[in-house]
Amino acid sequence: MKNHFIFNKELVKESIKKAGLTYAELAKIFADNNVNITEQSIKLWFIKNNANTPDIQKATILSRILNIPLNEILYSDDLGEVFAGDNGSQKVALLEMRAGFGTEGTLDPDFKVERCIKLPQEFLGKVNAKYAKIIQCYGDSMLPEFNDGDYILVEMLGGRDYIKRPSIYLVRLGDVVYIKRIEFLPNNDIRLISINPAYPPFLASETGYEWEILGAVYGKISVKLGSGFQFASQGVK
C-alpha cells in the first residue's frame, strides 16, 4: 500500500528541539533501534515541500523518543486512500457536500459523490447499504462526541418513512445542513439540540425556514495508523 500519510514537520521539529536532541544524536538513536539513517537524511525531513519523510517504522520510533502519539506525527486527511483489501467490504459514497456541527453546511440538492470508499461490512450494522453515505462535518457544537472534520456515516432517508425518535440526524434548514440531535415536537416542528452546552437548542419554526430530515446518523469514521478505519457508534442505536 502506498504511503498517503502526511508528516507533521513543525510538531516533530519543535519536539526534537524541546528534547535537546541534535540530528546526529537522533541518527544514533535510530541506529540503536536497528534503523540506519544519516543525519543529513533527517534534516531533509524538515525542508519545505520535500517528499522525503519518515515511514511508519521511523515515525513509531520518533513517537517513542519524543513522547508524541503516532497519529500526530503521521496522519491522513484522506479516508479514501487508507483502506486496503476487498474481502467483506462495502462501497459507500463520500458526498461532496459538507454538513455543519456549528458552522453552516450548504445543501447540494443533487448529493453529488466525491468518491467511493470501501468500508468493512460490519461498520454498516443496521444501515441499509443502498442508502448509506459518508459526509464530512465541521464545527464544535457537537463536542465532545463529534469533532471538527469528522466523517459521519448516514443512512439517507430520501423521503422514506422512518420512526421519529430522538436521535442524531442530518437535517436541512432552508439551504443549510446540520448534524444535530433532534427532538420531534407536535405541529410538525423539531427542536435542534447541540451536545456542546455553549450552543442553546432552538426550534426549526423559529428560523422561518422549511426543514427536512435528510438522514439518520449512525456513527463516525476515523483513521488510525496501523489499524485502518475505526468506527464509533454514535447516533441511532
**CATH superfamily placement of domain 79-232:** Umud Fragment, subunit A (2.10.109.10)
Task: Please give the Cα distance from 112 to 116 (Å, whole number).
Answer: 11
Which residue do the cell numbers 503521521 mark?
74
Quick one: DSSP state of residue 175? T
Any idea which fold 6-75 has? 434 Repressor (Amino-terminal Domain) (1.10.260)
Helix, coil or strand: residue 86:
coil
Query: 213 and 180 in contact (C-beta within 8 Å)?
Result: no
User: Is residue 85 scored above 50 in pLDDT?
Assistant: no
Tell me the pLDDT tens digit for each residue of 129-167: 899 999 989 899 999 999 888 889 999 998 899 999 999
Would you state the cell numbers that stand for residue 234, as one nine-digit string? 454514535
Per DSSP, the three-state class of 213 is: strand
* Cβ pair 139, 102 in contact under 8 A: yes
CATH 2.10.109.10 domain extents, the chain: 79-232
Query: CA 189 to CA 154: how far, in whole Å?
Result: 22
The 3-state DSSP class for residue 71 equals helix
**What residue spans in the chain does CATH classification 1.10.260.40 cover?**
6-75
| SS3 at position 19 | coil
> What residues have CB less than 8 Å from 17, skipping those under 6 apart?
none
pTM of the model: 0.66
- 236, 37, 67: which is closest to 152 by C-alpha? 236
Indicate whether 21 pLDDT > 80.
yes
pLDDT digits (tens, 9 = 90+) for 165-217: 999 999 999 999 999 999 999 999 999 999 999 999 999 999 999 999 999 99
Helix, strand, coil tally for the chain in percent (to 5) = 25, 35, 40
The 10s digit of each residue's pLDDT in 33-50 is 889 999 999 999 998 776
